[in-house]
Amino acid sequence: MSDNNIAERVRGTIYQASLCLDEARWEDWLGLCHDEFYYAIRAFSPEINVDMTYLDGKRADMVTLTEMLPKHNSDHSPLARHTVVYTVDVDEAQQTASAVSSFTVMKTELDGINSHLLAGESNVFLVGKYRDQFRIESGTPLFSERIVQLDTRRLDKGSHWPI
Amino acid sequence: MPARNAKQWEKVPGKLSSGEYVDSRIYSDRDIFEEEITKIFSKVWMPVCHESELPDPYSFRTMTVAREPVLVVRGADNQIRAFLNVCPHRGNMLENRPSGSFEEASPSGAPKHITCMFHAWQFDMKGNCAHISRATEGYQDRLECKDVGLRRLRCEVKYGGFVWVTLNDGIGQTVEEWAGGAFDCMQKSLDAEPLEVFHYHKAIIPCNYKLWHDTNSEFYHDYLHYHNRVTGFNDSYFARKNIGFDNGHVNVGSFEVQYDEYEGFESREELSFPHLPTNHWEMIDFFPGVNFNLRGSALRCDIMTPLGPDKVMIEFRGLGLKRDTPEERLTRQRHHNSIWGPFGRNLHEDLLAVTTQQATMSEWADKRRILHGRHELDADGDPTIHDEEGMRHFYDAWGQWMDRWPGDPDLSYEEGQKRKAA
């Protein structure tokens, strides 16, 4: 398979993951991830001059996290992302790829404040970049790492959901 | 009793007495809020940052205290000082960045100086005016550098390296005196060796600052964190005691957390703070809006900046030891963030609850009673974790500072006391 075809599949996988995350289909999202998947949400703080990790874990940790979501009280306002894949670099010899995407996550209020007044209102929740690594197995890209690098650091209520 | 009509709804429920509830207007009334800024926040000591945020001489941090912009700098002598972040010339904000260093020159000014970019007036790290542009030409002998130093603020570094500031030159107490013993429970752990901030994020929440302080003060809301409650809490959790100190501060006593019983958590045993028994948890609710929460491997500090009767900025910091290895630091981060991070399990639930709490208390909503009348005592008669003594202690201090009775803010504190006695 050519680099171009693999790159196209990587793009498709990133967009597929965006849809899964938008629709809170956690199992489907994790189905796109390799067994050794690592996930982290990071940000640099100009206040304390530190690279911070807000959340991280391996695939098993993300399975636990998503399986426990129904046991928590959460703001269920849907989060929808606009993702644009900027670059895809394929290493055919190693059967790996890396990609950088930009994302904006919009929150459409549902039950986080006063639903009668606010449900339906959309606001920007997060801005940042996805820095993804893939393993190509039988021509199929699987996420081996996703670093969610946030620009947004005023996070208000935050979220229980993977971004 | 079935659902109540309007008249019944206005009555004090059950046999609760004055002092066991507050009037919801204290969370929503704009005049009361303005009074709180003037009578409380501009008068007390507040922590504003941690010394590790000022790592070198000429480092600075900026912040806001009781609506006043504040600049904290570390001088060439390593001393940390605080000033109003205001140029004495035309009132411009001297420094706009959240943090940085004055060691390098700025576009308008010399190295090692605080420079107002507007007209290039310059100040040293002690707040002395060092340069007025075209001073003699403009002011002749009517105004010189010696007349226009910065407004200095009282500043102390205390309790694990937190930088404390007050706008009140006349405050009669040091930070230690103001704390009144509230830090005794964790001071040994905080002062054993230098600490360092590894986590910072902020939240602007549509709620009154006291609702957040209430939530940090009462543990009856473990029902909110239901999954944690049913998996990880033990008898000693419920036996923890609320202990009040002078000036409205409260401790929540220590207990051993069974982290390995919490689904999705790991034990903190490997990495406790110095002198803190493994997996233990100590907490201080510091008047009027600060929380120190030392839980096993990480220290959390919430600092509240009230922005309006229904709006507060909360800055969340996580701290470990300065000497941490990268692996230890990562472990502390994970422990901290799995519960208290912006994508952690508890913080989101707590913030969701206070947001929806305030949503029923808009500025013009009818007043209602917000209860804190639980008295749940142990065999020795001491208040336990589900007793709401912590909030009652806070509101008694609040009432004295405000000279208002929290249960009916139209009454003075003294009038409220009389009503309570009656």
Superfamily designation of domain B182-402:
Naphthalene 1,2-dioxygenase Alpha Subunit; Chain A, domain 1 (3.90.380.10)
Residues of A in contact with B226 (CB under 8 A): 71, 73
**pLDDT given for residue B269 in this prediction:** 63
d(CA A140, CA B349): 38
B156-181 average pLDDT score: 98
- B347/A47 Cβ within 8 A: no
Interface A–B counts its CB contacts (< 8 A) at 118
- B330/A158 Cβ within 8 A: no
Over residues B336-359, the pLDDT tens digits come to 999 999 999 999 999 999 999 999
**pLDDT given for residue B259 in this prediction:** 56
d(CA B362, CA B29): 9
Cα–Cα nearest to B303, from B197, B190, B399: B197
Mean pLDDT is lowest, of B67-71, B129-133, B222-226, B309-313, for B222-226
Over residues B270-286, the pLDDT tens digits come to 788 999 988 788 999 99
Q: Is B197 on the interface with A (CB under 8 A)?
A: yes
> What residues does CATH 2.102.10.10 cover in chain B?
48-157
Side-chain half-sphere CA neighbours of B379 within 13 A: 0
d(CA B24, CA B310): 12
DSSP letter, residue B51: G
Q: Is B341 on the interface with A (CB under 8 A)?
A: yes
B219-232 average pLDDT score: 77
Over residues B250-275, the pLDDT tens digits come to 998 776 665 555 555 565 667 889 99
Q: Please state, in angstroms and as integers, the Cα–Cα distance from residue A104 to each residue in A50, A78, B117, following that order.
A: 23, 13, 34
Fold entry, domain B48-157: Rieske Iron-sulfur Protein (2.102.10)
**Which CATH architecture best describes the domain A3-150?**
Roll (3.10)
Both structure tokens of A70: 């129904």
Residue of B nearest to A67 (CA): B264
Residues of A in contact with B203 (CB under 8 A): 154-158
What 3-state DSSP class applies to B339? helix
- Give B136 to chain A, closest Cα distance, Å: 39
What 3-state DSSP class applies to B49? strand
Is pLDDT at B68 greater than 60 in this prediction? yes
d(CA B263, CA B182): 33
**pLDDT given for residue B256 in this prediction:** 66
User: What's the whole-number average pLDDT of chain B?
Assistant: 93
Residue of B nearest to A153 (CA): B201
> Which residues sit opposite B152 in a β-bridge?
B83
Between residues 135 and 154 of chain A, which touch chain B (CB distance below 8 Å)?
Answer: 153-154
Cα–Cα nearest to A73, from B86, B147, B355, B40: B355
Residues of A in contact with B202 (CB under 8 A): 153-155
Over residues B181-207, the pLDDT tens digits come to 999 999 999 999 999 999 999 999 999
Over residues B106-121, the pLDDT tens digits come to 999 999 999 999 999 9
DSSP letter, residue B348: H
> What residues does CATH 3.90.380.10 cover in chain B?
182-402
- A157/B205 Cβ within 8 A: yes
| pLDDT tier at B245, thresholds 50, 70, 90 | very high
- A114/B359 Cβ within 8 A: yes
Residues of A in contact with B349 (CB under 8 A): 72-74
Residues of B in contact with A61 (CB under 8 A): 264
Between residues 58 and 87 of chain B, which touch chain A (CB distance below 8 Å)?
Answer: 61
- B200/A52 Cβ within 8 A: yes
Q: Please state, in angstroms and as integers, the Cα–Cα distance from residue B99 to each residue in B144, B320, B383, following that order.
A: 29, 20, 43
Which amino acid, residue B419? R
User: In B14-128, which residue ranges form alpha helices assigned H by DSSP?
Assistant: 30-36
Asked if residue B47 lies in contact with residue B164, where contact means CB atoms within 8 angstroms, the answer is yes
Asked if residue B363 lies in contact with residue B33, where contact means CB atoms within 8 angstroms, the answer is no
Cα–Cα nearest to A120, from A128, A131, A129, A112: A112
**pLDDT given for residue B301 in this prediction:** 98
Q: Please state, in angstroms and as integers, the Cα–Cα distance from residue B174 to each residue in A136, B10, B233, following that order.
A: 63, 43, 38
> Where is pLDDT greater, at B212 or B281?
B212
Is pLDDT at B236 greater than 90 in this prediction? no
Over residues A115-134, the pLDDT tens digits come to 999 999 999 999 999 999 99
B243-256 average pLDDT score: 87
Q: Is A42 on the interface with B (CB under 8 A)?
A: no
Q: Please state, in angstroms and as integers, the Cα–Cα distance from residue A40 to each residue in A130, A131, A135, B266, B282, following that order.
A: 10, 10, 18, 18, 29
The bridge status of strand A33-45 relative to strand A140-150 is parallel
**pLDDT given for residue B332 in this prediction:** 95
Q: Which of B99, B341, B352 sits opposite A49 (nearest CB)?
A: B99
d(CA A77, CA A82): 16
d(CA B302, CA B287): 12
**pLDDT given for residue B372 in this prediction:** 94
Q: Is B355 on the interface with A (CB under 8 A)?
A: yes
Between residues 101 and 130 of chain A, which touch chain B (CB distance below 8 Å)?
Answer: 112-114
- Give B349 to chain A, closest Cα distance, Å: 6
d(CA B118, CA B102): 16
d(CA B268, CA B300): 15
Instruction: Encode chain A (163 residues) as per-residue pLDDT tens digits.
Output: 677 899 999 999 999 999 999 999 999 999 999 999 999 999 999 999 999 999 999 999 999 999 999 999 999 999 999 999 999 999 999 999 999 999 999 999 999 999 999 999 999 999 999 999 999 999 999 999 999 999 999 999 999 999 9
Reported ipTM: 0.96
- B355/A157 Cβ within 8 A: yes
Q: Is B307 on the interface with A (CB under 8 A)?
A: no
d(CA B357, CA B273): 34
**pLDDT given for residue B24 in this prediction:** 96
**pLDDT given for residue B150 in this prediction:** 98
